[in-house]
Amino acid sequence: MTSYIIRRLLLVIPTVFFALSFLFALFYVLPGDPATLIAGGADRNPNAIQVEQINEKYGLNDPLPTQFVNYWKATLQWDLGESFQTGRSVNEILGQRAKNSFRLAFWALIIEIVVGLSVGIYSAIRRYSLADKLTTVGTAAMSAIPVFVLGYILQYAFAVYPNKHDWPEWTRLRTSQIGPPGSGDGDWFLFVIPMGEQWRYLILPAVTLAAVSTALTARMMRGSMLEVHRADFMRTARAKGLGERQIVLRHGLRNAMLPVITLLALDFGAMIGAAVLTETVFSWPGLGSTIASSVLDRDLPVLLGLTLVVVLLYSILNLLVDVSYAWFDPRVRLGEGKDK
Amino acid sequence: MSDQTPGFAAARTVDQMVDDVLAAPEAPPYLIDVWRRFKKNRLAVIGLIFILGLVLVAIFAPLIAPYGPSERTDVFRGSPSGDHLFGTDIIGRDVFSRVVYGARVSLRISIATTIIAMGIGVLVGAMAGFFGGFTDGLMMRITDVFLAIPYIVLAVAIATVFGRSENGIILVLGLTGWLGVSRIVRSSFLSLKELEYVEAAQALGFSRTRIMFRHILPNALQPIIVYGTILIGSVILAEAALSFLGVGPQDPTPAWGLMVSQGKGDLANAFHLVLFPGLAIALTVLAFVLVGDGLRDALDPKLK
Amino acid sequence: MTIGSGELLLSVRDLSVVFDTDDGLVRAVDAVSFDIHRGEVFSVVGESGSGKSVTAMSILQLIPDSRVAGGEILWKGADLLQRTEDQMRSVRGAEIAMIFQDPLTALNPVHTVGRQIAEMARIHETITKKQAFNRSVEMLDLVGIPEPDKRASMYPHEFSGGMRQRAVIAMAITCKPSLLIADEPTTALDVTVQAQVLEVLLEIKDEIDSAIMLITHDLGVVAGISDQVMVMYAGQQVEQGTVDDVFYRPMHPYTLGLLESLPRLDATDDTELVPIPGSPPSLINRPSGCPFHPRCRHAQAPGRCDTEATEFRSIAGAHFSACHFAEQFIGGSTPAIETPS
């Protein structure tokens, strides 16, 4: 087992290396001169001297291999540089955005687990009932709505419309930014629990972000439960005289959970690092949207720095999933046993 | 062993016979069975009807849409009305017409992308699954690297490189979409190649390509088809997302995602600008998901 | 139809079980009747699709998709078919236990063997976890598994095939059921291991004084341990009697065909194998009259065999057959019937 874990950990290194190098290379293929962009964009017509200064400052004139090596040298020391756009330290940006993303993802995940799993299990138990059919259509519909459309619909329903028609203050939710003006880390209890007004800003983005994943989790859970239901050992359990509920909970659930766990872990990673659409719709300053805009702005340090963290996160999550599989399933843990 | 040796000639006849048996396309009754089971799933049938309707709408767009996609009227940001079923946008274009023409954009992009993605994915997956060993390892490492990068980042990055246009999007989505396909094709091939009829085929001297494509692939088709159907839905969503972010087809192309993005500025007064294109996307994807589900249930008799 | 010497435990009367499918009504079991007594090994033989498994599983009502279309299942006098699900649950495992074909898939892979055996005890008796665990060690020991205390903490995939099946048997007898139904218990095992498992079954039967209902398609297994044999075909019973009766004095063409198709060690080099031609009939559209007639060498069709439904009756004391011409089989393994020209 330990050797397995070590091997997987080692695999992370080349993956990260190649992923980031790929982005690095891609950046150089991107049209648009970063220096010009930094100096104020093409329409502000920066003069050549400014552009040259910027090139010097950020080493953009050096040959590609040199830049590549310099980049990795710095990165290995965790010197992620400064944003081309704003000059702020990437570490600082990273810290702030990561916190925001984590908080949002945390609640989205909770919603996904609670709602997704219970809906999935329930519809599997009450197979073919009306509730099951409704959930099937419901989850299919939920996974079909584009995230940003859902976000705007929710915004409209819960914030814009009440606002426009002057509903009482307490019914209205907020639609953008991460908190009332002047809010900071103090607004969060135990790092993730929103205090005071904060939850009004959190609720819509969290639900939006959770929606699609919840639908998929519910579907997968149902499918997994149904598949396990057909397994021979379920028949044995029935022949022993176990009641249906016991059979489902004690025997079925643990086996059915396995594939769902993978999904949940990967979703969590995606929610933290790739929630571009939700973050854009709600102006929630998280990792995803920052990375996306850094591509458009040709802000290489920000792009690479934040992506590095996200890639590392993904890899570690993947590893945790594989390890937990072993914990759940003794066949993996102890190695495939004797055949006959 | 040359083709001319007498023993080989005899073997070739057997080869031919066995080959015909092994690789015969499933007799029509199987397909009829599948269709029969599919028909029973009402939701799937509704989905199929919707898709067919959408295709018709796309083909006959000029006849269905009252206005051209770029035609301006003098009603700006108008709410839905008799004249303009879905209202008009900021510069006076009829939203209904644009949604109708948008069907063409969506279908074009999603079908082209799916073909590319499936093509690459099946090839890569089949080779990885069948040859195993180094080929497999290499391909899996490559897909791992791609999968490690958050999808949107990858898509946005490539999209900015290849340009913001319909073709650019097709390229981006095709190049990123094959990853999932290759995974399932690979696992299909991995398990199928252990089956005895493959051993039998090898013992008879069939070439590996032949075995791969004429013997294993037909059996691996089922999950591939289901995945493909669902893939189209995902592609539409991805295209909508990229258009929304601004890296897809540009104005005046009536891409649904782009239309949502254009309408987001004024939710309070012009919600219809977001609602209708958004619904179009949602319903289309839903139809593909339902059909995909129906196909999966219809192709796997054990699931009943 | 009472035959055996022990107390009458199970009495199945005219049991019919059907499945409603899209293609029609599948008559899986058609008016089957038999008795099982304490201490007896009752074997049900037949091909796949003969209805033997469905019969067995219907006793415990383990097939939710099926429908009982008639008959009674009397267990110690009371009709099981009249029982509620709750009442059935107290029968399953405690009074009638069942073991299945593939022990690897029959056990939950994520629970230890000991836990699964203990579960059986904890379902039906109020005992502590510790006591239940001790019982599972006891059971493992009873079926001849070495180091039972260590084994109880291991997982199913860590056992070899034969040991696994023994563990399954241990699990089944935990609450000392009066009837043990074994559905193809040896089919998934190597031949050498098969003999061991059958031995264990016999020992256990004596140990807990129960009866065994053995479902199988393997005539060798039947000959090895059975007292009574019932042959099924296309959902109907075609022959029944003691193992000697059925093997040495078969009175149905199907049974005869089965016996003749067995390869024999004492056969000479050029003896051909004699299979039964054709394949089992569809259970939706059964042949008219006797279901076996299309494959029967001695069938009179057109005649009684394809028009008249068969009657399962006593031919010689406790030896029953459904063949119209069963009486003509008496006196030897070669029938005296004339093959119609």
Residue C227's pLDDT is: 92
A–C interface: beta-carbon pairs under 8 A: 82
Is the CA virtual torsion A276, A282, A283, A285 positive or negative?
negative
Minimal Cβ distance to A241: which of C123, C158, C168:
C123
C98 — contact with chain A (CB < 8 Å)? yes
pLDDT at B278 (0 to 100): 92
At A7, the pLDDT band (50, 70, 90 cuts) reads: confident
List of chain A residues whose C-beta atoms are within 8 Å of the C-beta of residue B237: 144, 146
**Between chains, do A141 and B286 touch, taking CB under 8 Å as contact?**
yes
Q: Which of A231, A334, A338 has its CB closest to that of C105?
A: A231
Contact B149 A31 (CB under 8 A): no
Q: Which of C170, C209, C201 is nearest to C184 (CA)?
A: C201
Q: What pLDDT, in 10s, does the model give residues B226-268?
A: 888 888 988 999 889 888 888 888 878 888 988 888 888 777 7
**Residues C109, A239: C-beta atoms closer than 8 Å:** no
State how far residue A274 is from chain B, nearest Cα, in angstroms. 6
Task: Quote the minimal CA–CA distance from A249 to chain B in Å.
Answer: 22
| pLDDT of A298 over the 90 cut | no
Burial A157-186 (b: 16+ CB within 10 A, else e): ebbbebbeeeeeeeebbbbeebbeeebeee
Q: Are strands C228-233 and A193-194 parallel, antiparallel or unpaired?
A: unpaired
Q: What is the pLDDT of residue A339?
A: 38
Does B89 score more than 50 pLDDT?
yes
pLDDT at B179 over 50: yes
* C-alpha C255 chain-centroid distance: 16
Q: Which residues in chain B are contacts of A262 at CB distance < 8 A?
A: none
Hey, what domains does chain A have and what are their CATH numbers?
Answer: 2-76 (no CATH), 98-339 (1.10.3720.10)
Smallest Cβ distance to B149: which of A164, A292, A311?
A: A311
Confidence band for A228, pLDDT divided at 50, 70 and 90: confident
Chain B residues with CB-CB distance to A26 below 8 A: 157-158, 161
Supply angle C-alpha B267, B271, B276, rounded to 5: 140
Write down the pTM of the prediction: 0.76
Q: Which of residues 32-91 of A touch C (CB under 8 A)?
A: none
**Token pair of A220 as six digits:** 């997968």
Of A238, A254, A340, the CB nearest to C110: A254
Angle between helices C161-173 and C113-124 (to 10 degrees): 10
Q: Give ipTM to 2 decimals.
A: 0.81
Residue whose C-alpha is closest to residue C235's, from C52, C57, C61, C59: C52
d(CA B2, CA B8) in angstroms, rounded, equals 8
Q: Which residues of chain A are within 8 Å of residue B158 when distances are taken between CB atoms?
A: 26
What distance in Å separates the CA atoms of residue A276 and residue C270, rounded to the nearest whole number? 79
C279 phi/psi in degrees, rounded to 5: -135, 165
pLDDT of residue C98: 93
Q: What is the pLDDT of residues A199-213, one digit of tens each?
A: 778 888 899 999 988
CA-CA distance, C188 to C197, in Å (whole number)?
Answer: 11
Contact assessment for residue A120 and residue A217, using Cβ atoms and an 8 Å cutoff: yes
The one-character DSSP state at B204 is T
- Cα distances from C45 to residues A74, C234, C236, in angstroms, run 77, 12, 11
- pLDDT confidence tier of residue A252, bands split at 50, 70 and 90: confident
> What is the C-alpha separation between B279 and B286, in angstroms, rounded?
10
What is residue A333's predicted lDDT score, i.e. its pLDDT? 66
Confidence of residue B21 (pLDDT cuts 50, 70, 90): low
Residue C321's SS3 state is: strand
- Substitution target from A229, A232, A236, A261 for chain C, most C beta carbons within 10 A: A236
Query: Which chain C residues have a beta carbon less than 8 Å from that of A251?
Result: 108, 111
Yes or no, beta carbons of B145 and A31 under 8 Å apart: no
- The beta-carbon neighbor of A295 closest among B146, B156, B240 is B156
CB contact under 8 A, B271 and A276: no
pLDDT > 70 in chain B, percent: 88
Q: Which residues of chain C have pLDDT under 70?
A: 1-5, 267, 330-341
pLDDT at residue C339, as a whole number: 38
What integer pLDDT is reported at residue C218 of this predicted model? 87
Distance CA B66, CA B63 (A): 8
> How far is the alpha carbon of A248 from chain C, nearest alpha carbon, in Å?
12
Bigger pLDDT: C100 vs B88: C100
Instruction: Decide if pLDDT at A181 tops 70.
Output: no
What pLDDT is attached to residue B28? 53
Q: Note the pLDDT tens digit of each residue in C239-286.
A: 999 999 898 888 898 998 888 888 777 767 777 777 888 888 888 888
- Partner residue facing C106 (CB), from A232, A254, A339: A232
- Contact check, Cβ <8 Å, C158/A337: yes
- Beta carbons of A340 and C161 less than 8 Å apart: yes
Nearest to C256 by CA among C168, C142, C333: C333
Interface test with A, best of C110, C120, C125, C215 (most A CBs within 10 A): C110
Place A64 in a pLDDT band, splitting at 50, 70 and 90: confident
Residue C35 has φ and ψ, to the nearest 5°, of -125, 150
Dist. CA A124–CA A108, nearest whole Å:
23
pLDDT on residue A135: 87
CA distance C331 to C334: 8
Q: What is the mean pLDDT of residues A269-275?
A: 87
C-alpha distances (whole Å) from C235 to each of A250, B110, C1 are 36, 53, 19
Residue C46 DSSP symbol:
-
Task: Tell me the pLDDT tens digit for each residue of A78-104.
Answer: 777 777 777 788 888 888 888 889 989
Domains and CATH numbers, chain B: 67-289 (1.10.3720.10)
Average pLDDT across chain B, whole number:
80
Q: Which of A29, A277, A315 sits opposite B148 (nearest CB)?
A: A315
Considering only CB atoms, which chain C residues are within 8 Å of A233? 105-109
Please tell me the predicted confidence (pLDDT) of residue C147: 92
Q: In the predicted model, what is the mean pLDDT of chain A?
A: 79
Are A146 and B281 inside 8 Å of each other by CB?
yes
Distance separating alpha carbons of residues B262 and B301, to the nearest angstrom: 46
Q: Can you give chain A as a three-state secondary structure string?
A: CHHHHHHHHHHHHHHHHHHHHHHHHHHHHCCCCHHHHHCCCHHHCCCHHHHHHHHHHCCCCCCHHHHHHHHHHHHHCCCCCECCCCCCEHHHHHHHHHHHHHHHHHHHHHHHHHHHHHHHHHHHHCCCCHHHHHHHHHHHHHHHCCHHHHHHHHHHHHHHHHHHCCCCHHHCCCCCCCCCCCCCHHHEECCCEECCCHHHHHHHHHHHHHHHHHHHHHHHHHHHHHHHHCCHHHHHHHHCCCCHHHHHHHHHHHHHHHHHHHHHHHHHHHHHHCCHHHHHHHCCCCHHHHHHHHHHCCCHHHHHHHHHHHHHHHHHHHHHHHHHHHHHCHHHHCCCCCCC
Among chain A residues, the shortest Cα distance to B157 is held by: A295
Instruction: Report pLDDT for B131.
Output: 77
The answer to whether the Cβ–Cβ distance between A233 and C105 falls below 8 Å is yes
Contact A231 C90 (CB under 8 A): no
Residues of A in contact with C160 (CB under 8 A): 338, 340
